Structure 1
Amino acid sequence: MAGTRRFPIGLLCTWGVTRLALLLFVYKVWTFPGPDVTSDVSVIYHGWYETLRTGTFPHQDVTWQYPPAAALAILSPALLPFVDYTHAFYDIVFLADLAVLCLLQFAGLRPGKTLRGAWVWTIGVALLGPTVYARYDVMVTAVAVAAVLAGTRHPRMMGALAGFGALLKVWPALLLAGAVKRRAWFSAAATAGGLALLFALTMPGAFSFLTFQRDRGTEVESLGSMVFHVARHFGWEGRVMLNYGSVEFLGPYVDWVSWAAVFLSVIAFGWLLLWRLSVRRMTAQGVADAAFVAVLMFTITSRVISPQYMVWLVGLAAVSLCFHGSRMVLPGGLVLASCLATVLEFPVYFGDVVTSTPLGITLLFVRNGLLVAAALIAARELWRGTVSRPAPTVPPQATRTQETLTPS
């Protein structure tokens, strides 16, 4: 038993086989159903790379919608100069994937922890298919997982990683939702502020992404898009187009739905603020659960839910499930189920999604419904675990006394 605990051969073999399959798909040795998911790397990322290496951001390209530290991810294939850009990018993502596994395995082997989180990561990423290796989100998730695992024991480290992650892709700022030490917030602010200033002073166009994010519409896979997928069958006159780097709905009432998504994000923020002010007890598990819930809530209320967003949720669910007795077992399971629905809606049946066929609409309803259910259940469990008063425990002696006094 001790050897199995220290050397999880089954986990490592499963991870190795599934990751080899992902590499074979992105290397195009095998063909994955649906549209080619690798063009973002070979065309878009590579084009950004050529611009970034000159010392400036692609600020005239509306598809550049990332904070300045994203440049480091796009430039990272330069670490492997003996490999062409595309394959070097996949190799870097593979190493980031391996880093997450190592972090979760190390955490899972500690007292009070379990390897369940490492299994969630292994299975979840595999279910999402090759898209995860053709985006830089695994790199960001690796930083986020390290930040949450640092948690209450190393608040400065957690804050620094969260601040760095926020400049990679914004959402890691939500990891601080459950931070209990001011040192974590100060560290995050110092790291993010210092890096932002450095990029602003040294590379033109560092914050052009803010304007492009503001002008985005309702993406065809988002929760709000469900309105238009159904409305198209009842005469809605809008259309689907590639807009600001994603496939979005354009036409009547789209702005209304986009603003409704912003309003829901404000509601989600309000709930998180109420929860934070109501917290009675906070543990390392609570910090992990809070990060998972915060990112999950802002994902479902976003105007865009791209397939790679699921990587964030899988990583944070995995950290929460590293703890014995985690309250996030059901939400984590729903996230895994939504990963399977996600790979079906993109890339396998993405043509049906774009044309709003019954199959495409069904897949989106299933995927988004699972995410909404996961968010609601996770929020309830977070509240119960950190805010609700625990049920009073009756001492054994008092129980025996009560049984003695109870007439038969």
Structure 2
Amino acid sequence: MLSLLALGALPLLDRGGVAREVWQLYHHWYVVLSHGTFPAYDPLWQYPPGAGVVLLSPAMLPGLTYFQAFVVLSLAADGVIALALARAGTRPGRSLRGAGYWTLGLPLLLHVPLARYDVQVTALAVLALLALSRSPRACGAFAVLGALVKVWPVLLLMGTPPGRTTRSAWMSAAVTGSATLAVLIALFGNPLSFARQQGGRGVQIESLGGTVLSLATHAGWPGTVRYQYGALEFTGPHVSTVAHLSLVLSAAALALLVLWRVRARHWTGATPSDAALSAVLLFTVTSRVISPQYMIWLLGLAAVCLTSRHTTQRPVAALLGAASLVSVIAYPTLYDQVAACTWAGCVLMLARNGLLAAAAVLSFVRLWRSTTGAVLPKEPGADTHRLPHGTLSPS
């Protein structure tokens, strides 16, 4: 991955400016943040205030350029994930498949992970899930810190076992999140400015809705692709309808997850990570934006699932590996084809998003069946007990 990053000037590796986002955009935001304020009037700034801490972190390595320090910290986060998965995999009833999946899966995305800060966010998510069985409070704290950086880790709390574990994790998340946000508000100006930029987001060309619009161009739809809000998005008739439909689908995904939470009766040590992967998958495929780096989140969560011998998500992990391979063909390798909505670009995005959609449906179905059906066998080494109505939950 480092070699590919060093060879980023090669035509097939740098379409879309993989590394440019760090040394140009991230560094620009770093300069603004170093003056004690968030880039409030920059339409490209769409991230929660915790992202500012990550973008300022290269300052901890003063002997390196911003780009070099950022890559070193990305590699460090990658190492933390690998070590945490390996340690978890050596416990009774656990497996090293998760560590192997992450180690072999991340390079499927070429050098993209080293030039985005999603590895750092994924590290917080992985630590949160792995900490749950021993310290629900640590789980809640890591999850909310990740959410303050890039929102999606809040979904990890959807699968915490009912009862004392959930209360402890959610209370810790509330306290940690409130305290951290208060500190950021005290230290920086305009910490909540990102919210005003999100409403203007359109339909990114790599999203599920974008795939529909790409195919529509071959049926005579007159829309065009334009760079806005930091991504290539569609503009033209009916784009707003597709965007609103995506929001409706996201709301439906949330309703499904809430219904699952109410109906779930059987928990094993694998259920929280299985639920986390399912939740993030559902919100990913219904989003107006599916950037290439989103695959990093999914690979990390799938790796946590695979540390348990009783996970229901093994076939989902296989689909995500295939989706990652297709994803890097689309970006950066043939991104010009995707942007131009050629048949090759359409087929690539149809394949990638089809795999993600299939993974999301399969993930939720397997999660539902494993937790609302017959009682599953107790996971070796898991600290569980039977609650009223036949529920299993870590004590």
Distance (Å, rounded) in 2 between the aligned partners of 1:27 and 1:75? 23
Equivalent in the alignment of 2:241: 256
Kindly state the Cα deviation for residue 202 of structure 1 after the two structures are TM-superposed: 2.4
Flag the 1:372–1:226 CA change in 2: closer, same or farther, 3 A: same
Distance (Å, rounded) in 2 between the aligned partners of 1:256 and 1:75? 38
Kindly state the Cα deviation for residue 29 of structure 1 after the two structures are TM-superposed: 7.3
CA contact (8 A) 2:128 2:139 kept: yes
CA contact (8 A) 1:143 1:162 kept: yes
Equivalent in the alignment of 2:211: 226
Kindly state the Cα deviation for residue 26 of structure 1 after the two structures are TM-superposed: 1.9
The answer to whether structure 1 residue 143 and structure 2 residue 124 are counterparts is: yes
CA contact (8 A) 1:265 1:302 kept: yes
Equivalent in the alignment of 1:204: 189
State the 4+ residue runs in structure 1 displaced beyond 6 angstroms: none
Paired letter, 2:2: L
The answer to whether structure 1 residue 93 and structure 2 residue 77 are counterparts is: no
* TM-score, with length taken from structure 1: 0.89
Equivalent residue in structure 1 for 2:373, among 388, 392, 395: 388
Kindly state the Cα deviation for residue 130 of structure 1 after the two structures are TM-superposed: 0.7
The answer to whether structure 1 residue 33 and structure 2 residue 13 are counterparts is: yes
Kindly state the Cα deviation for residue 325 of structure 1 after the two structures are TM-superposed: 3.2
* TM-score, with length taken from structure 2: 0.92
Equivalent residue in structure 1 for 2:360, among 372, 375, 394: 375
Kindly state the Cα deviation for residue 227 of structure 1 after the two structures are TM-superposed: 1.7
Paired letter, 1:361: C
- Provide Cα deviations, 1:278-315, integer angstroms capped at 9, x if missing partner: 11122221011011100011000110000000000000
Distance (Å, rounded) in 2 between the aligned partners of 1:273 and 1:318? 24
Equivalent residue in structure 2 for 1:49, among 1, 17, 30: 30
Equivalent in the alignment of 2:329: 344
User: The residue matched to 2:283 in structure 1 has which SS?
Assistant: helix
CA contact (8 A) 1:232 1:356 kept: yes
User: The residue matched to 1:224 in structure 2 has which SS?
Assistant: helix
User: The residue matched to 2:13 in structure 1 has which SS?
Assistant: coil
Q: Which has the larger radius of gyration?
A: 1
Distance (Å, rounded) in 2 between the aligned partners of 1:254 and 1:152? 44
Equivalent in the alignment of 1:168: 149
Equivalent in the alignment of 2:287: 302
* Percent identity between the two aligned chains: 44
Paired letter, 1:28: L
Distance (Å, rounded) in 1 between the aligned partners of 2:336 and 2:347? 13
RMSD: 1.4
Equivalent in the alignment of 1:11: none
Distance (Å, rounded) in 1 between the aligned partners of 2:376 and 2:240? 47
Distance (Å, rounded) in 2 between the aligned partners of 1:316 and 1:79? 28
Distance (Å, rounded) in 2 between the aligned partners of 1:68 and 1:310? 22
The answer to whether structure 1 residue 23 and structure 2 residue 2 are counterparts is: yes
CA contact (8 A) 2:264 2:371 kept: yes
Paired letter, 2:364: A
Kindly state the Cα deviation for residue 391 of structure 1 after the two structures are TM-superposed: 8.4
Distance (Å, rounded) in 2 between the aligned partners of 1:232 and 1:70? 36
Equivalent in the alignment of 1:241: 226
- Provide Cα deviations, 1:313-369, integer angstroms capped at 9, x if missing partner: 000000001111321110010000000000000000000000111111111011000
CA contact (8 A) 1:26 1:90 kept: no
